Every structure is written in C-alpha cells, then in structure tokens.
Amino acid sequence: MSFKSKIKDYLLFTKFRLTFSVCISAIAGYLLAVPVLKDQYADSLDITFNEINFQNIALLFLGGLLVTSASIGTNQILERKLDSQMVRTEDRPLPAGRMKLTEAIIATILMLGLGSWLLYGFNLNTMILGLVSYVSYSYIYTPSKRKTPWSVIIGAFPGAMPPMIGAVAATEQGLFTALAGSLFFVQFAWQLPHFWAIAWVSHDDYQKADFYLLPSKTGKSKKSAFRISLSTLLLIPFSLYPWVLGYVGVFSVMAATVLGLTFFLFAYQLLLNLDDKSAKALMFASFIYLPLIQFAYVIDRYFFFTG
C-alpha cells in the first residue's frame, strides 16, 4: 500500500472532517472563555489564565483532534463487522481489509494517550473531560445505536463536550463555569437535528445493521420529522443562553435568532415533504449553523460587547 493510500485510510478511520469540525468548536469555546473569565475573575489572585496565542490554540486543536480520532477509531473497531453490512461504511479500512485490527488498536491507544497528554498541558479537568467524552462515545453511545431510537440523545452528551473542553482549558485551574455549561447546551441541542438529518438520509442503510437513530421507531415518518423540527425550534432559546448569562450582547441575539429561524425552515421543509432531499438540505444547513453561531459569540465578545 502506498503512503498516500495509507494516509487516506487513516483519514477514513478517524473521520477527519468530523474531527476537524469538533476541534473548531473547542477553539471557539477557548477564544470566548478567556476574555469572559478574565472579566469575571478580574479581582481574583488565585486564577491563572492560559493566554490566547498560536501555541495554545495549536495544542488544544491537536489534543482534541487526537482524542476525538481515538473515539471514532474505537467506534470503528467495535463496529467493524456491522460496517461491512452497510454501503456507506463498507469501504472503511477495517471492513475492507486494508487495516489490521492490531494496527487499529495500537493507533487508537497512541492517539488517546498523546491527545490526553496534550489536554493535560492545560489542566487536569480538560484532560478528564476529553476522557469522559471518549468513554461515553465509544462504550455507551456506540452499543446504544442498536437498542434504542434515543441513542442520538445519548451520543449528544459526548458530542457536546468540545466547546466545554475549550472553555475549561481557559484557566490553569480548569474552572467549570456557567459559560462552559451554556456552550455545552448549545452544542447538545444542535446535535439532535444534525444527527437525525443524517439518520434520515442513511436510514435504509442503517437498518441493515439494526441501527435505530431516528427519533421514532416509525422511521422516516411524520412523527420523526415533527420531532426533528421541534428540536431545531428548541435550539433558538438554547442559543440565547450565553446572552441571558451576560457573556455576549445584542449581536449574538440577532445572529442566534436569524440562524435559528433559518435552520428551523430547513427542518420545516422536511416536515412538509418527508423526503431525502429535504433531509440532506437540513444536514448541510447544520454543518454551516454550528460554526456560525459559535464564532458569532466570539466576534460579539471581541468587537461589539460593551458589558
């Protein structure tokens, strides 16, 4: 196998595009948390801040990338036989036979160990959150996909960790703050329509492996579409939570409202049409929504927020 082919396989094994977006969420949480917490703890002599510089951003990105890659890798190790049954996953390196199980396990252990060590460089709590995310995704969410249609909600917990990890990394003490919690809940609420849209598009393929990922056992139905639409609508008040807590200003309110309503319209089209085309449109809208709302908070705090 050529070096280029091996790199391609590792990109598939770690789902690089997904892990990259996860790390962007962590960076957004970090960029927002540093100035917010500096204001909040301006009079405290006991709090030491990790500064915003290229080194810290790169280390947080790489640490998050490796831990997330380990999570995805473990998922593919555990589901390698199931992946061979589905068209969308049969070409992954393990079911396709291009990667040995021993290699996959060793690579996963190395990624988890190095990634955790990098996160520990910020503080212990950041590393612990990374490990909690890894364990809950790999060993709780992964097996739940064949047991309950609410597995996406279970998976939303580790999926919402990245911005919280970024926020907790802002101080050497690893403070768990209301800001970290608010960012967690925004991404948690976003996870639901995002993964349900994917589940709708890939529903028939998922059924080959007995995966239950839509919000109703009725499958691609009006009931599932209604719950997906409701989840996008509920995202709007969740996205206003950082403003309610006083961390961002009016710019974020306008961004959250416009982005939220636009996102809901895509979900409403799915409710009306009940087709894969509408689900794909919602899926791509979700990819755009998350970085836009997270960096709207950052832009607001740095350029518009007056306190």
Give residue-wise pLDDT tens across range 133-192: 999 999 999 999 888 777 899 999 999 999 999 999 999 999 999 999 999 999 999 999
Q: By percentage, how much of the chain surpasses pLDDT 70? A: 100
pLDDT at 145: 87
Give residue-wise pLDDT tens across range 220-249: 999 999 999 999 999 999 999 999 999 999
Task: Answer yes or no: is pLDDT of 1 > 80.
Answer: no
pLDDT at 43: 84
Tokens standing for residue 58? 């790169």
The rounded mean pLDDT for the chain is: 94
Name the burial class of residue 100, with classes exposed (0-12), middle (13-18) and buried (19+) by CB atoms within 10 angstroms of its CB: exposed
| Crossing angle between the packed helical segments 161-168 and 124-136, to the nearest 10 degrees | 170
Question: What's the CATH number where 256 sits?
Answer: 1.10.357.140
Give residue-wise pLDDT tens across range 163-180: 999 999 999 999 999 999
Are 186 and 238 spatial neighbours (Cβ–Cβ below 8 Å)? Answer: yes
Overall average pLDDT of the 275-299 stretch: 97
Looking at the structure of the chain, the number of domains it has is 1
Task: Answer yes or no: is pLDDT of 216 > 90.
Answer: no
Task: Answer yes or no: is pLDDT of 219 > 90.
Answer: no
- Distance between CA atoms of 165 and 60, rounded to whole angstroms? 9
Are 260 and 235 spatial neighbours (Cβ–Cβ below 8 Å)? Answer: yes
pTM for this one?
Answer: 0.94
Query: Structural domain of residue 146, as residue ranges?
Result: 3-304
Overall average pLDDT of the 61-88 stretch: 95
pLDDT at 42: 86
**Is residue 41 very low, low, confident or very high in pLDDT (cuts 50, 70, 90)?**
very high
Are 146 and 210 spatial neighbours (Cβ–Cβ below 8 Å)? Answer: yes
Are 75 and 24 spatial neighbours (Cβ–Cβ below 8 Å)? Answer: no
Overall average pLDDT of the 105-124 stretch: 98
Are 119 and 111 spatial neighbours (Cβ–Cβ below 8 Å)? Answer: no
pLDDT at 192: 95
